Amino acid sequence: MASTLLSLKNVTKTFGGLRALDEVSLEIRPGEIASLVGPNGSGKTTLFNCVSGIFNPTQGEIRFRDRDLLPLSPAERCKLGIGRTFQVVRPFMKLSCLENVLVGAYFGQKNHPSEAVSEGRRLLEFVGLGERIDQPASGLRLAERKRLEIARALATRPELLLLDEVAAGLNPAEIEAMIALLREIHGQGITLLVVEHVMSLVMDISERVIVLNEGRKIADGSPRDVVNDPKVIQVYLGEEVALSEKVRG
Amino acid sequence: MTRLDLRLCAVSLLLILIFPLVVKDDYLIHLLILTALFAQSAAYWNLLDGYLGLIHFGYAAYIGIGAYTSALSAMHLGLPLPLCMLLGGLLSGILGVLLIIPCLRMVTFSTAIVTLAFGEIARIAASSWTTLTKGEMGLWGIPPLFASQSKLLFFYVGFGLLLVGSVLLKILLRSRLGLAVVAIREDEIAAFTSGIEINRIKLLISGISCFVAGVMGAFYAHYILTITPGLFSLGYTIQIMAMSMFGGKGTFLGPILGAFALIFLGEGFRFMEDYRMLIYGLLIIGVVMAFPTGLVGGINRLKKRIPSKR
């Protein structure tokens, strides 16, 4: 197994004059749980979109298992083993939960699965939607929709799962359950890259935390190192610190 | 569809098939032939718009292209008619695919404009290319599909095409491809990142849908025997859209029911003379407002309200 699953080299993405990502380089190792954190607008979702192929970076290189991702469509990247969920959940509302997962199973894998339906049922049980198999996704609560998206992504048999704010908008009990679910998924050997604002989740599960600010990577290390990093403190408490500096000056 | 729905479909199909044998009214039979044609077109427009979510305002142009291609190849090349009809379908299908290629990068509303513009361009081309199409004079002297004066054979071929088309459509919708089609309508981005090659599927479905329009247009040409560029017009596309919405967009039976309903309502209102189209329009608006999901949606809602006996 390669020592790097996903690597970004000097990835820049500009939208007009805005540099959403600015020379970001990072590596995700197989089997780890890494978190991507940073203030709003720091480029986390943009990074996910570049990796999953919603759009390509303006400059830079993205490789997955040493394969260049840029020429590949989102569907091809999915078949290669990159699954994702969305910050604003995007289940197929009018389809049943099972059909949602079947989409992933039928189209997201390299080889056609022989028992997609039973696998779909098993995955729905696994994420805790066993009771809802034949209900349309539109009838689900937010927490359930997030779980449905996870099941759909798992049905594509990903090696790397990109999770975009799976805990946002959930209550504390639901967050606890989500953490347990992520651990189980990780336990199956799936590498997780998590974008998250809910710090309890980040600190609880991450082996590594990557911090973005205004499109730049400003820290990358163990959770404890990162929270003690002065640059990170400045970003998160920046205004106050800067203000007090001014007052003092 | 439940077993009851299936039985209802089988019974109504049987009734329709016996109808011309019992009621020997040429005009009614003619209306039914047109209904079959419109029903099929509405059903396959619905595949594009209702199931895939790809809005198409130029659909009638593909009926026209099929009609002219088939008529011209029969008149000038002397090919057997079934082959001509197939050629009409193929050319429509190919042009249907080509038109959607530039639309792949567009948002819905731009696609609407592009398809609308294509319909107009095709109509104007058919009207101006007089050496080939005889322009607004219309193309006449098209060989008929059947030499007999009776409309019976046309009736059975029309409904045969509708039946085959419907069965194939049902098979498509139930397949994996059908699941992908609906997933794309529900959320393109989620579909794309779940492994569906959305562009390929949009092109494929456009090809299928326009192929069917072309074949139906060809059938029309060899039935009516005179065609004009008016066949390409936006008016027909809108009629097809109205049937689809009236019956229930995104449902299997909706467009077929809608075609029957609107053609026979349109006839039923003839006694109102000048006010006919006004009433007809108001009725469509009324039904679409009362049942946003069309007749089929309305029926399903009523069914839920009546508690089942079991």
Q: Which among B144, B170, B138, B169 is positioned nearest to B157, based on CA atoms?
A: B144
Whether the CB of A84 is below 8 Å from some CB of chain B: the reply is yes
Q: What is the arithmetic mean of pLDDT over B39-46?
A: 96
CB-based burial of residue B9 (10 Å sphere; 0-12 exposed, 13-18 middle, 19+ buried)?
A: middle
CA distance A209 to B243: 56
Write out chain A residues lying below 8 Å of B293, CB-based.
Answer: none
Residue from A56, A73, A145 to probe the interface with B (highest B Cβ count within 10 Å):
A73
Q: Which of A108-117, A238-247, B24-33, B43-52 has the highest mean pLDDT?
A: B43-52
Residue B284 neighbours by CB under 8 Å, 6+ apart: B242, B245, B246, B262
3-class DSSP state of B267:
helix
Write out chain B residues lying below 8 Å of A52, CB-based.
Answer: 193
Q: Which domains does chain A have, with CATH numbers?
A: 1-71+160-167+193-249 (3.40.50.300)
User: For residue range A89-140, what is the model confidence (pLDDT) as tens digits?
Assistant: 999 999 999 999 999 999 998 777 778 899 999 999 999 999 999 999 999 9
Instruction: Read off the tokens for A192.
Output: 């997780």
**Is the per-residue pLDDT at A246 higher than 60?**
no
Write out chain A residues lying below 8 Å of B195, CB-based.
Answer: 75, 78-79, 103-104, 106-109, 156
Tell me if A194 sits within 8 A of A205, measured CB to CB. Answer: yes
B192 contacts A53? CB cut-off 8 A: yes
pTM value? 0.90
User: For residue range B134-159, what is the model confidence (pLDDT) as tens digits?
Assistant: 988 888 888 998 887 788 899 999 99
Residue from A52, A89, A103 to probe the interface with B (highest B Cβ count within 10 Å):
A103
Percent of chain B with pLDDT over 90: 62
Distances (CA, A) of B215 to A54, A124, B86, B90, B218: 37, 44, 6, 8, 5
**Is the per-residue pLDDT at B107 higher than 70?**
yes
B183 contacts A95? CB cut-off 8 A: yes
B191 contacts A92? CB cut-off 8 A: yes
Q: What is the arithmetic mean of pLDDT over B285-292?
A: 83
Domain residue ranges in chain B: 29-232
Q: Which among B76, B110, B67 is positioned nearest to B233, based on CA atoms?
A: B67
Percent of chain B with pLDDT over 70: 98
CA distance B126 to A249: 79
B195 contacts A90? CB cut-off 8 A: no
More confident residue, B131 or B192: B192
Among A121-125, A238-242, B116-120, B141-145, name the one with the lowest average pLDDT.
A238-242
ipTM for the assembly? 0.89
Nearest by CB: B195 against A54, A75, A92: A75
